[in-house]
Structure 1
Amino acid sequence: MKHPIAAIRIVLSQSAVSRGSRQASKATPCKWFGTRAAAKLATSFCVLASVATVQAGEPVRAMPADVFIDTLGVVTHLNYLDGAYANVRNVADNLAWLGIRHVRSFPPGPSEPLSTYTYLAQRGVRFNFLVRPNIAESIEVAAKLNAAVPGSVAAIEGFNEIDNFPVPYRGLTGMAAGLAAQREIYTRVRSTPELASVPVYDLTGYDLKSVETRADSADYANQHAYPQNGNQPTYNVPGGAWLPAAIHSVKKFQLPVVITEFGYFSMPQSGWYMIGVDEATQAKGVLNGYMDAAAAGVKRLYVYELLDQKPDPENKNPEMHFGLFRVGNSPKPVAHAIRNLTAVLNASTPRSTTGVVRHSLAYTLSDMPASANSLLLQKKDSRFVLVLWNETAFWNRAEGTPVTHPPARVSVDFGATASRVDLYDPLVSATPFASHRDVRQLTVDIPDHVILLEVTPAGMPGP
C-alpha cells in the first residue's frame, strides 16, 4: 500500500495498474452502460457497446441508491500513528461526513489497539482487513472484532501487491509464496466461526496470465487501477482504459470483482507516467471512477485514500497527496463532491404507500458520444436519479494543467412525462442548479464529470 513510486515495475499494456506502474496501458477504451438489475451487481462486468444510446422502449431497471452507496469504499492507514491517522475521531467524523462506511485497512497490530477499531466499528465503519504476514494473528484479531461488533468485518483480503512487497511463506518466495498463502488465508477464514459469512478478497500483484482459477482461494477477484498521465478512469484517446482493463484481466476467474485501490494524487505534474493532477481534477476523476465501477458491476471500489498522511510542503512526495482530506483534516474538493453526491442520494421525501411504484425507467439518450456514460439509480422514496458523465480529457500532461472540453449536448427522453426533474452538479453543491416541471424531454449539457438528474415520474405516489 505504501512504496516509493520510483521503485516500481513496468507493467504490460493489458495488465491491471498499480499505483507504481511506469507504462500506460494501451487497452482499447470501452463504453460502459449502467446496470440493468441490482441483482446482477456482483456478477456483471463490462457491457461493451458501439453506440451510447439506450434503445427507446427498453426499460432500464434502476440500481437502488443504497446499493450504489454501499459500493463506495476508501483506503485508510490506521496503523500509521505518526501522521494524520493518529486522530481516530477525525477518521470517524470524516467517514460519517462523506456518507461512506467501508474502509480498507490492516487489522490491529502491535502498535494500534483493538479499541481503536472497536470505536470505529461502533460508529458504523465496516472493515476490509488486509492480512499481515502473520496470517493466523490477523485472522484471530479480525474474528475478535467481528464478535465484539457483529458485521464490522466486511471482508478479509490477501497480501497487497506481492510484486512490489514480496512476502515469504513456508520456504516459498515470490508469486508461489503469495498464492500458497492465499489458500491458507481462505481456509482459515472459512473455518473461523466468527467469520463464517465474511467473504475473502484475492491478493494482488501476481501474474494473472499464469493462473486459471481462484477456487478455494478467493470469493472475489481483486485488482488495483490507477489512471495514469492524468487520464480519465475508462475512456482516453489516446491512452488506456484503466478500469476496464483491470476488470477484464480477472474476468476469466468468473468471480465478482472488487477494486481495492484506485485514485489520483493532488500534486499537479507534467510529463509522462504516474501524473498528479490538481484538486479539482482529482474530484472529477474519483467521482467518475466510483460511477464507472458501479456501472460495471464492481462490488466495491476503495479510493486511495482518506487522508493525506503527512505534510509535504515542497510537493516532493506524491504518496502524501492521495487523500480526500488534507493533512490538517480540511476537506479537498473531492471530499465535498462525495458528500454532495451521497447527500442527494440519501435525501428522501415521505410518500404515500398506495399506488404503483416502478423500478425501471424507459429513458432514451440521443447524441451521446462514445466517451459518455449513464447509470440509473433509484432513491428510497422511489424517485430516480439518472447519472450522466462524459470522460473527455481533463488534464494536459504536457503542460501539467487542467483542460476543459465543451460539454456534450445530449437529448434525454424519459419515456413519459416527468412531473419534476432537478439537475445537480455534486462538484458544486447538493442543491439543484436547474429544475423543470412536467417535461418528457430535456436537452442536457454533460461535462467531464458526474451530473445528476433527479426524476419524479408523473403519477408517482406523492407526499
Structure 2
Amino acid sequence: MAMGLLGLMNPMAQAAPERARSADSFVDSVGVAVHLRYTDTVYGNYYGLIKPKLQELGVRHIRDGGDDAQFFQKLNDLAGVGIRSLLVMDPRDGIDPARAVAIAKTVAPSIEAVEQPNEYDISGDSNWRTTLKNYDASLRAAFKSDPAVANLPMIGTAFVTFDATNTVGDLSPYVDFSNMHPLRYFPPDNDQNNAAPNNIAVETAFRAKPFGNKPMWASETGYDAGCPGVGTGITEAAQGKYVPRFYLQWFNTGLVRTYIYEFIDEKPDNCTEPEYHYGILHNDGSPKPAFTAVKNLLALLKEPGAKFTPGSLDYTLSGNTTNLRHTLLQKSDGSFYLILWQAAKSSYWPGEARSGQDIYVAPTQVTLNLATRITQATTYLPNTSTNSTGQFTNPTQINLNVPDYPLVVKLSPSSAPPPPASGGQPDLLISSTGYQAASLTPGSPVTFTAVVKNQGATATPAGTIIGVAFRDRSTANGALLTYSDTNTASLAPGASVTLTANFPWSATLGTHNVEAWVDDVNRIPESNETNNTLNQTLTVSNTPPPSGKPDLVVTSTGYQAASLTPGSPVTFTAVVKNQGTIATPAGTIIGVAFRDRSTANGALLTYSDTNTASLAPGASVTLTANFPWSAVAGTHNIEAWVDDVNRIPESNETNNTLNQTLTSKP
C-alpha cells in the first residue's frame, strides 16, 4: 500500500462533502514511548505510578525494548489492561535474532509489532549499513520461520540523519512498515514549506524510500519541555499545544501510529540534562499540560470495538482560515467530531533571540457553515477539560474562536445513522470485559463481567437468553471457565448491558488469554456472526499484589445546569478513582469539595459527603454535590478536591484535585 495524504485540504475550498474517519482509528494511532526496564529511574515505581498513569492517560500502545524478566512481566501485566507494546530488537542490547524470537514468545500477550534496531546510523559502527542489513535480514527470517511469531508486523529502523536515509540502500524485503523519528518540529503542523524537516508530509515520503514506500510509523517524536531556552527546550505550555496537534496532523498525513517520546521525566533534574525533560509527566507523576491535553482528547474520541463505515459531512469554513488545520472523525452513533486548530508558532524556536518564551496566539474567528442537518452541536477544549464549552441547537452556522490548540466540535445529525446491519437483525458484540477479585493468586475466586452492545438494526427478542461464555484460549481446547446465562431482557439497537458470570472461576497459576464470547451457542440470529468475542489477558502469580494504601484521584468533573446565566443552579459532579493498592474503608466518607480557585481564598461552592461505600482498587464512583451552586457572572476555575479533609490515609496525598473552567454570563 502506498502512502497518501489525508485530510490536508482547506475545508473552505471543498467542492463536495468530506468523508470522515472513525474516531477510534485516531485513538488507536496514539502511542507513547516508555522505559520500563530503567528501574533506577522513576520507571522503577511501576505499580504505584507508571501503570496507573498509563491507564489514566487512556493510551493503548507503548514502545520499549530490552531483555529482562521483570520487564517482560510488566509488559504482560499491561496487556491485561489493554495496553500492548511495540518492542525494539537491537543487537546492542545483546538480542540476536534467535533471542528476539524467544522474547516475542515470552511476551506474546503484549507484543503487537517488532521494531528493528533503534537509530543505528549513530551506533558508532563504521560499517553500520552492512551490519544493519545483515541483522534485519536475519531477524526477518527468524520470525517468518516460526509460526508462533510469523505474523507480527516488522517496523524498520528510524534514522537520525538524512544522509543515512539516502545511502542505506533497499531494506524493503525485511519490513512491513516504514519508520521515522520526526523530532523537534516548530510548529508540528507546518505543511507550507516544501523541504524536510519543516514539512511532515515531505519528510514522510523521504523517510519511506529505503522501505519501499510502505506505510509509515513514527516510533519517537516529542519535545524536551520544562527548561525553556536550554538546549532545544520549550515551555511546558508550548509542549501542551504541540503534542495533540502533531498527533492529529500526522494522523491526517497517513501515519499508522505515532509515539510521543516520552511518558515521564526519568529523573529529577535542575535543567542540566535535556534528556530528562521529554516527558508529558513530571518526574513526581504530576501532569504537564501535554498529558492533560492528550488524556482529554482520547477520552472524548474513544469508541473501542466500534465497527461501521463513516459517513460524510457537508460543510464549509469561512473567515480567517489561512493557518487553519482540521481532522474530521465520526463515531458509530453518527456524531461527527470536527477538530480545528491554528498551525501557529506557539513558542520561539531554540536558538532564536527570544528562545524559551511563549508566543501569544489570538484565537482566529471562523464560521462553520453546515449543509448537513445537525440537531445539536457541542464544543470542547480538551487542553483544559472534557466539559463542554458551548452548545447549539439545530445550527446551520456557528461562529467559532479557534485557538492554537485543538477545538473539538461534536455535531449530531438529525438522523444519526446506526451502525450498518444487513437483514434487519441484532448484532451483538463485547465492547469491554472486566473482573472482580480480591487478589490474583492461585485459588482466588475471580468473577468475570462483559459489557454486551447491540449494534444491529433490531432488538434482541425478549425471553431469549443473551449469554456469554468465558474461555481460556491459552489452553489447547479453550477451556470453559464460567458463563452468564441469566439475562433474557430484550436489548434495543444501540443499547448495552453488563453481564456477570453465574459463578467465579478459581484462579490457576500462569498467564491466561480469557475470551468473552457473546451468544456462543447461537440462540439469536445476527447480521454478523463473526464479531462476538473480545479477549483480555490475566496473570495469576504466587505473589499477591503489593500492600499499601488507597490513592484517590479525580479523573473527570462535570456539571448539570439548564443554563450558565447568573443565578442559575449548577450541580457539580466528580468521578473519583481509587488508583491505590487497597480499598477505602467501608463506612468512611469519600468526600469532594468544589471550590472556586479564581477567588482570593478559593471559596467553597458546594460539596459531596454522602458516599460511605468502600471503593476497590481500580474502581471509580461518580459523586454529586449535595446542593447546587448559584452561578455568578464571570469565569471560574472550579476545583474538585477529593478527601479534602483527609478522612482516608492515602499513599499519595498530592494528587487529589482536578480543575475545570466555567464561564457564567448574562
TM-score by length of 1: 0.80
Report how many aligned residue pairs link the two structures: 401
Name the structure 2 match of 1:386.
Answer: 338
Residue matched to 1:395: 347
Q: CA deviation at 1:138?
A: 2.5
State the 1:123 CA deviation.
2.0
Aligned to 1:344: 300
Judge conservation of contact 1:357–1:461 (CA < 8 Å) in 2: no
Give the residue type in structure 2 aligned to 1:266: A
Within 2, Cα distance between the matches of 1:280 and 1:303?
A: 16
Paired residue for 1:460? 416
What is residue 23 of structure 1 aligned with on the other side? none
Deviations 1:395-419 (A, max 9, x none): 1242221002222222212222311
- Residues 376-385 or 187-196, more deviating: 187-196
Q: Is the 8 A contact 1:394 1:402 kept in 2?
A: yes
- Residues 132, 212 of structure 1: alpha-carbon distance in 2 compared, 3 angstrom cutoff: closer
- Give the deviation of 1:278 after TM superposition: 1.4
SS in structure 2 at match of 1:154:
strand
Deviation at 1:381, TM superposition (A): 2.5
* Worse-matched range after superposition: 378-387 or 76-85: 378-387
* C-alpha distance in structure 1 between counterparts of 2:309 and 2:74, whole Å: 43
Q: 1:380 offset after TM fit, Å?
A: 3.4
Q: Does 1:375 pair with 2:331?
A: no
Q: Which residue of 2 aligns with 1:447?
A: 403
1:204 partner SS: coil
* CA distance 1:182–1:382, change in 2 (3 Å): same
Match of 1:282 among 239, 245, 254: 239
Q: After superposition, what is the alpha-carbon deviation per residue over 1:232-290, rounded to whole angstroms, capped at 9, x for unaligned? A: 1121889952533431213442201000111111134338xx52111111111110010
Q: Give the CA deviation at 1:423.
A: 0.8
| 1:233 corresponds to | 188
The AA in structure 1 aligned to 2:357 is T
- Structure 2 equivalent of residue 295 of structure 1: 252
Task: Give the equivalent residue in structure 2 for 1:65.
Answer: 23
CA distance in 2: counterparts of 1:426 and 1:65, whole angstroms: 15
The answer to which of 68-77 and 83-92 deviates more is 83-92
TM-score (ref. length: structure 2): 0.57
Residue 411 of structure 1, aligned match among 367, 381, 384: 367
Question: In structure 1, what is the Cα distance between the partners aligned to 2:382 and 2:393?
Answer: 21
Structure-to-structure mapping, 1:181-260, within 5 angstroms? 181-205=135-159, 207-211=164-168, 213-228=170-185, 231-235=186-190, 241-252=198-209, 253-260=212-219
Question: 2:6 & 2:72 partners in 1: Cα distance?
Answer: 42
CA distance in 2, matches of 1:164, 1:404: 38
- Kindly indicate whether the alpha-carbon contact (under 8 Å) linking 1:387 and 1:450 is maintained by their aligned counterparts in 2: yes
More strand by share: 2
Indicate the residue corresponding to 1:121 in structure 2.
79
Structure 1 residues 213 and 72, CA, compared in 2 at 3 Å: closer, same or farther? same
Unpaired runs of at least 5, structure 2: 419-493, 495-666
Aligned-residue offset at 1:144: 2.1
* Distance (Å, rounded) in 1 between the aligned partners of 2:279 and 2:326: 27
Deviations 1:301-323 (A, max 9, x none): 000011110110x2111111111
Higher alpha-carbon Rg: 2
Contact 1:259 1:298 in 2 (8 A): yes
TM-superposed CA distance for 1:56, in Å, is 4.3
**Alpha-carbon distance in structure 2 between the residues aligned to 1:445 and 1:306:** 31
Quick one: structure 1 residues 441 and 52, their matched pair in 2 at CA, closer, same or farther if it must change by over 3 Å? Answer: same
Asked whether the equivalents of residues 414 and 440 of structure 1 are also in contact (C-alpha less than 8 Å), the reply is yes
8 Å Cα contact 2:85-2:111 kept in structure 1:
yes
The aligned residue for residue 11 of structure 1 is none
CA separation in 1, counterparts of 2:364 and 2:2?
31
Provide closer, same or farther for how the CA distance between residues 409 and 217 of structure 1 changes in structure 2, counting only shifts above 3 A: same
Q: Would you tell me which structure has more helix in proportion to its own residues?
A: 1
- Check 1:87–1:456 CA distance in 2 against 1; reply closer, same or farther (3 A cut): same
Match of 1:93 among 45, 52, 56: 52
Q: Label 1:113 to 1:390 Cα distance change in 2 as closer, same or farther (>3 A).
A: closer
CA contact (8 A) 1:384 1:456 kept: yes
Residue 174 of structure 1 aligns with which residue? 128
Question: CA, structure 1 residues 368+129, in 2 after alignment: closer, same or farther (shift >3 Å)?
Answer: farther
Could you list the per-position Cα deviations for residues 73-110 of structure 1 after superposition, in whole angstroms to 9, with x for gaps in the alignment?
Answer: 00001121101111222222112111101000004337
Given that 2:220 and 2:258 are in contact with CA atoms closer than 8 Å, whether structure 1 keeps it comes out as yes
Distance verdict in 2 for CA 1:194–1:108, change over 3 Å: same
CA offset digits 1:40-62 (Å, max 9, x no partner) = xx75433597x723544512221
Which residue does the alignment assign to 2:381?
425
Alignment of 1:318-333 (within 5 A): 318-333=274-289
5+ long unaligned stretches in structure 1: 1-41, 351-355
Structure 2 letter corresponding to 1:338: V
> Could you tell me whether the CA contact under 8 Å between 1:92 and 1:123 is conserved in 2?
no
Specify whether residues 47 and 237 from structure 1 end up closer, same or farther in structure 2 by C-alpha distance, changes over 3 A only: closer
- Per the alignment, residue 162 of structure 1 pairs with 120
Amino acid at match of 2:339: V
For residues 309 and 181 of structure 2, the distance between their equivalents in structure 1, rounded to whole angstroms, comes to 38
Give the 3 Å change call, closer, same or farther, for CA 138–87 of structure 1 in structure 2.
Answer: farther
Higher relative contact order at CA 8 Å, sep ≥6: structure 1 or structure 2?
1
Does the 8 Å contact 2:296/2:382 carry over to 1?
Answer: yes
The worse-fitting range, judged by mean Cα deviation, of 386-395 and 236-245 is 236-245
State the AA in 2 paired with 1:102.
H
- Residue 316 (structure 1) aligned with residue 272 (structure 2): yes
Q: Percent identity?
A: 26
Q: Aligned partners of 1:189 and 1:415: how far apart in 2?
A: 52
**Distance apart, 1:373 and its partner CA:** 0.9
Q: CA deviation at 1:446?
A: 1.5
Q: Partners in 1 of 2:244 and 2:262 — Cα distance?
A: 14
Partner of 2:232, secondary structure, is: coil
Do 2:265 and 2:283's aligned partners in 1 also have CA atoms closer than 8 Å? Answer: yes
The reply on whether 1:142 has 2:100 as its aligned counterpart is no
CA 1:197–1:245 in structure 2 vs 1: closer, same or farther (change >3 Å)? same
Provide the secondary structure at the position in 2 that maps to 1:246: helix
CA distance in 2, matches of 1:222, 1:328: 32
Which residue number corresponds to residue 74 of structure 1?
32
Q: Secondary structure at the match of 1:216?
A: helix
Q: Deviation of residue 180 (structure 1)?
A: 2.1
Deviation at 1:223, TM superposition (A): 0.2
2:229 matched residue in structure 1: 270
